[in-house]
Structure 1
Amino acid sequence: MGFNPMHLGTTLLARKLVVRAARTESKGASLGSKAPHFELPEPLTGKVWKLDDFEPYPALLVMFVCNHCPFVKHLKKAIVKLTNFYMKKGLAVVAISSNSIATHPQDGPQFMAEEAKLLNYPFPYLYDESQDVAREFGAVCTPEFFLFKKDGRRPFELVYHGQFDDSRPSNNVPVSGRDLSRAIDCVLSSQPIPSVQKPSVGCSIKWHPETTL
Structure 2
Amino acid sequence: MRKRYPFLFLMSVLALFSFAFTADEAGYQLGDTAADFKLKNVNGQMVSLKDYKDAKGFIVTFTCNTCPYAKLYEDRLIQLHQKYAPKGYPVVAINPNDVTASPGDSFEEMQKRARQKKFPFAYLHDESQEVARKYGATRTPHVYVLTRTGNELKVTYIGAIDDNSGDPEKVQKRYTEAALDNLLAGKPVQQATTKAIGCTIKWRGDS
Q: TM-score range by the shorter chain?
A: 0.7 to 0.9
Is 1:192 aligned to 2:188, yes or no?
Answer: yes
Is 1:164 aligned to 2:161, yes or no?
Answer: yes
Q: TM-score, normalised by structure 1?
A: 0.79
Radius of gyration: which is bigger?
A: 2
Q: Which residue is equivalent to 2:131? A: 133
Q: C-alpha separation between the residues in 2 aligned to 1:168 and 1:26?
A: 26
Structure 1 210/181 Cα, relative in aligned 2: closer, same or farther at 3 Å?
closer
Q: C-alpha separation between the residues in 1 aligned to 2:132 and 2:36?
A: 11
Q: Which residue is equivalent to 2:35? A: 36
Q: Which residue is equivalent to 2:82? A: 84
RMSD of aligned Cα (Å) = 2.4
**2:96–2:201: 8 Å Cα contact kept in structure 1?**
yes
Q: TM-score, normalised by structure 2?
A: 0.81
Query: Among the aligned pairs, what percent are the same residue?
Result: 32
- SS state at 1:161 partner: strand
**1:142–1:204: 8 Å Cα contact kept in structure 2?**
yes
Runs of 4+ in 1 over 6 A off after TM superposition: 25-28
* Cα distance, 1:69 vs structure 2: 0.4
Is 1:208 aligned to 2:204, yes or no?
Answer: yes
Higher relative contact order (CA 8 A, sep 6+): 1
**1:26–1:139: 8 Å Cα contact kept in structure 2?**
no
* Cα distance, 1:197 vs structure 2: 2.5
**1:101–1:107: 8 Å Cα contact kept in structure 2?**
yes
**2:156–2:192: 8 Å Cα contact kept in structure 1?**
no
How many residues align? The count is 184
Q: C-alpha separation between the residues in 2 aligned to 1:117 and 1:79?
A: 15
**1:41–1:126: 8 Å Cα contact kept in structure 2?**
yes
Q: Which runs of 5+ in 1 are unaligned?
A: 1-24
Is 1:104 aligned to 2:102, yes or no?
Answer: yes
The one-letter amino acid paired with 1:191 is K
**1:141–1:204: 8 Å Cα contact kept in structure 2?**
yes
- SS state at 2:94 partner: strand
- SS state at 2:93 partner: strand
